[in-house]
């Protein structure tokens, strides 16, 4: 009987599966179209270019799983990079100490979001819209909008430009460690299960004994921490720290997360889906450039993909929602 | 204090506190920098913020219906270019204005159809549309500005002073019409009903999907009008216009007291929000503070506005899931 078999096949169809298939087609197309697309050098290029957004999208996945959103991460990235530059250049701290300023600033910024969202119960969209302006504004105020910190020591630039043995870019192990940590947290611990429960229903999660406020706080602080780390990586990759660092990265991260099948309403989603979404975006930008197609196509296709992804997600969720 | 006054104060608490903040700012300016009140400066402020007010009216409708539109910056750019191209093609000025509004309405209808008919989340749909529309415009125009506009285009061909007056009058008339309509017309009440509780609205004989669709169409049309009133102030139409407009407008609406969870808010608040955030930057310049701190201060105002609101009204977790 063909019909039940078809139904069973549909049942096995996951968002991640469909995305992996689309990714394979994407790779095949670009391999046929462009020169140098399938090469070690290009793979390094792709990993380097997606390092910062990758770190942000992992944290954003955890935030969105709880039904929240963090619009401030791109601004916090900029603020972390600028304050790190200021600590090194203006305060004269040794670079090894100054580099720690970036994650510290990220954590502090994340803590502000955390307090406002988890203690005061304010809507995350508005809180992080406010801190989006606040963090970027402080970065602009400190640098007077124009000052750029450059001339970082070589040992620091290694974080963003260096090669490990075998030509592996430094971003790869960083991204892998972060991805593995987030995957374990979200998919293999009670904490991760709790995040999803909060996403489905904060009230229900509270009655189930989950410390909702504490979990929410930790998610926003993690998000800030990743923004801080990404700020250091960004400054090291470009060799400069400026107030406009990371502009629009929050939207790229959200795009990767939603493309990866995480529901914007929370509760459903996965870290591996986000990684696939991130890869799809990175390959799109890179492949179109190598194939000499107009760069605008990348944005247009991102938009179309995003709408297709939530459309598909909606169809799948109607079937599998618990 | 008589009871009626006390009740009115309680009902308009947010509007009153924003008005007090605005008056305090103006008072400070009167004492420290009276040059702020020179006619030329006030006129520039009014003309500059008239388009923001018009876009904020549309955003208030959308947020009242429990939706959001972050694609308005891209819509703004497209409508401006459309108006410029129509004028260049020799279309008479009233039809140019109609064309800009219709172009915006059509873009809003696309958003509305995706959100209302397919039931997709507005934040993701409009995020995708923001990227997609912006890149389509860049592809079509290759970043070139619309130049060589006919004399009838700038200031509606009225000359500078009457043109400025026309812009402010149009903005205020639009505001008055919508403020009246939202409060006094059944269709306006339907927006509140839909935003408060779509299910209950449905049972009360309202079609929530139709209401949501219509608010997006109005949003687009109003953005078209805002783009028209902005582009006639300059010699050329910039294709990169409107970047970040969505966050500026959402901030003004939220500061004005409209609840991001829908159903609560008034256009008077939006007017005050636009005035406060619009006056902040120039005020800083007149008070001798560096203008680079404008964005940080705007972020602070947003956070203060939402924080004071919650501290007064209720405990945590009211909006934790939104």
Whether the full predicted model's pTM is greater than 0.90, yes or no, is no
- Residue A5: predicted pLDDT: 65
Confirm if B271 and B49 have CB atoms less than 8 A apart. no
- Residue B313: predicted pLDDT: 55
- Could you tell me which of A220, A224, A223, A200 has the C-alpha nearest to residue A210? A200
- Residue B288: predicted pLDDT: 81
- Residue A295: predicted pLDDT: 81
pLDDT category at B308 given cuts 50, 70, 90 is: confident
CA-based nearest residue in chain A for residue B253: A126
A258: which chain B residues are within 8 Å (Cβ-Cβ)? Answer: 124
- Residue B284: predicted pLDDT: 87
B199 is a domain residue: yes
Identify which of A131, A141, A198 has the shortest CB distance to residue B290.
Answer: A141
Going by their DSSP bridges, the two strands A149-150 and A163-164 should be labelled as unpaired
Cα B321 to Cα A121: distance, rounded to the nearest angstrom? 9
B60 is a domain residue: yes
The predicted-structure confidence for B71-115, as pLDDT tens digits, reads as follows 999 999 999 999 999 999 999 999 999 999 999 999 999 999 999
- Could you tell me which of B70, B60, B318 has the C-alpha nearest to residue A254? B70
Number of inter-chain CB pairs under 8 A, A vs B: 169
CA distance B40 to chain A (A): 27
Which residues are registered as beta bridge partners of A169? Answer: A163
Structure-block tokens of residue A138: 């402080």
B7 versus B270: the higher-pLDDT residue is B270
Mutate to test the interface with B, among A134, A146, A251 (most CBs of B within 10 A): A134
Question: For chain B, what is the domain count?
Answer: 1
Residue A123, CA distances (Å) to A126, B101, B298 in order: 6, 32, 18
- The number of beta carbons lying within 10 Å of the beta carbon of residue A97 is 11
Helix (H, G, I), strand (E, B) or coil at A240: strand
pLDDT per residue of chain A (322 residues) written in tens, 0 to 9? 455 665 666 666 778 888 888 888 888 888 888 778 888 888 888 999 899 999 999 999 999 999 999 999 999 999 999 999 999 999 999 999 999 999 999 999 999 999 999 999 999 988 998 999 999 999 999 998 789 999 999 999 999 998 888 889 999 999 999 999 999 999 999 999 999 999 999 999 999 999 999 999 999 999 999 999 999 999 999 999 999 999 889 989 999 999 999 999 999 999 999 999 999 999 988 988 888 888 888 889 889 988 988 887 777 666 544 3
The set of residues, in sequence order, having a beta carbon less than 8 Å from that of B27 and lying 6+ positions away, is none
Query: Contact A310/B318, CB-based, under 8 Å?
Result: no
CA-based nearest residue in chain A for residue B111: A307
Counting residues of chain B whose pLDDT is more than 90, the rounded percentage is: 67
Identify which of B114, B118, B260 has the shortest CB distance to residue A125.
Answer: B260
- Residue A36: predicted pLDDT: 80
Q: What is the DSSP letter of B185?
A: S
B149 is a domain residue: yes
B285 touches chain A (CB under 8 A): no
ipTM over 0.90: no
Confirm if B223 and B76 have CB atoms less than 8 A apart. yes
Type and span of the H or E element at A163: strand A163-164
Residue range of the domain that includes B262: 37-304
- Residue B279: predicted pLDDT: 92
- Domain definitions of chain A by residue range: 40-246
CATH number of the domain within which B192 lies: 1.10.3470
The predicted-structure confidence for B16-36, as pLDDT tens digits, reads as follows 989 999 999 999 999 999 999
The set of residues, in sequence order, having a beta carbon less than 8 Å from that of A223 and lying 6+ positions away, is A59, A60, A62, A63, A70, A73, A110, A113
A111 versus B240: the higher-pLDDT residue is A111
- Could you tell me which of B319, B65, B315, B321 has the C-alpha nearest to residue B196? B65
């Amino acid at each position: 009987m063909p019909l039940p078999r078809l139904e069973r096949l549909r049942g096995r169809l996951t968002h991640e599966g469909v995305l992996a298939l689309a990714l394979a087609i994407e790779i095949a197309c670009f391999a046929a179209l462009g020169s140098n697309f399938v090469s070690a050098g290009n793979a390094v290029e792709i990993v380097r270019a997606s390092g910062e957004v990758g770190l942000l999208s992992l944290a954003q996945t955890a935030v969105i799983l709880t039904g929240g959103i963090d619009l401030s991460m791109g601004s916090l990235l900029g603020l972390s990079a600028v304050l790190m530059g200021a600590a090194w250049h203006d305060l004269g701290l040794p670079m090894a100490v100054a580099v720690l300023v970036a994650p510290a600033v990220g954590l502090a910024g994340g803590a502000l979001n955390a307090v406002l969202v988890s203690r005061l119960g304010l809507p995350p969209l508005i809180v992080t819209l406010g801190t989006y302006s606040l963090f970027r504004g402080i970065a602009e105020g400190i640098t007077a909008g124009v000052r750029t910190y450059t001339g970082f020591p070589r040992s620091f630039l290694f974080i963003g430009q260096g090669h490990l043995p075998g030509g592996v870019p430094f971003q790869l192990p960083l991204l892998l460690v972060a991805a593995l940590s987030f995957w374990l947290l979200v998919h293999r611990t009670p904490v991760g299960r709790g995040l999803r429960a909060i996403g489905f229903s904060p009230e229900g999660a509270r009655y189930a004994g989950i410390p909702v406020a504490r979990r929410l706080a930790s998610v926003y602080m993690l998000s800030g921490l990743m923004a801080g780390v990404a700020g250091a990586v960004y400054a090291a990759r470009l060799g400069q720290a400026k107030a406009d660092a990371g502009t629009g990265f929050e939207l790229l991260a959200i795009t990767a997360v939603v493309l990866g099948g995480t529901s914007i309403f929370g509760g459903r989603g996965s870290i591996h889906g986000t990684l696939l979404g991130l890869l799809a975006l990175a390959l799109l930008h890179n492949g179109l450039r190598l194939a000499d197609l107009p760069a605008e196509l990348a944005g247009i296709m991102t938009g179309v993909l995003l709408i297709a992804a939530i459309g598909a997600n909606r169809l799948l969720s109607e079937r599998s929602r618990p | 204090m008589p009871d009626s006054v006390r009740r009115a104060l309680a009902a308009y608490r947010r509007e009153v506190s924003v008005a007090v903040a605005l008056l305090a700012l103006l008072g400070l300016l009167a004492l420290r920098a009276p040059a702020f009140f020179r006619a030329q400066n006030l006129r520039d402020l009014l003309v500059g913020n008239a388009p923001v007010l018009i876009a904020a009216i549309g955003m208030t409708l959308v947020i009242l219906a429990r939706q959001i539109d972050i694609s308005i910056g891209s819509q703004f750019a497209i409508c401006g270019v459309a108006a410029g191209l129509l004028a260049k093609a020799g279309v008479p000025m009233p039809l140019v204005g109609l064309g800009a509004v219709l172009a915006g309405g059509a873009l809003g209808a696309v958003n509305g159809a995706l959100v209302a008919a397919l039931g997709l989340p507005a934040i993701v749909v409009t995020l995708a549309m923001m990227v997609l529309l912006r890149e389509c415009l860049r592809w079509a125009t290759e970043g070139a500005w619309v130049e060589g506009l006919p004399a009838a285009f700038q200031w509606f061909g009225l000359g500078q002073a009457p043109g400025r007056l026309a812009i402010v009058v149009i903005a205020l008339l639009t505001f008055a019409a919508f403020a009246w309509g939202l409060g006094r017309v059944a269709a306006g009440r339907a927006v509140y009903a839909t935003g408060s509780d779509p299910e209950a609205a449905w049972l009360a004989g309202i079609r929530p999907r139709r209401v949501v669709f219509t608010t997006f169409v109005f949003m687009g049309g109003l953005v078209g009008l805002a783009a028209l009133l902005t582009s006639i102030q300059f010699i050329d139409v910039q294709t990169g216009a409107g970047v970040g407009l969505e966050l500026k407008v959402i901030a003004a609406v939220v500061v004005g007291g409209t609840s991001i969870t829908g159903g609560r808010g008034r256009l008077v608040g939006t007017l005050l929000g636009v005035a406060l955030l619009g006056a902040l930057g120039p005020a800083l310049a007149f008070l001798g503070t560096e203008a680079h701190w404008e964005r940080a201060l705007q972020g602070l105002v947003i956070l203060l506005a939402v924080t004071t609101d919650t501290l007064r009204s209720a405990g945590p977790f009211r909006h934790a899931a939104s």
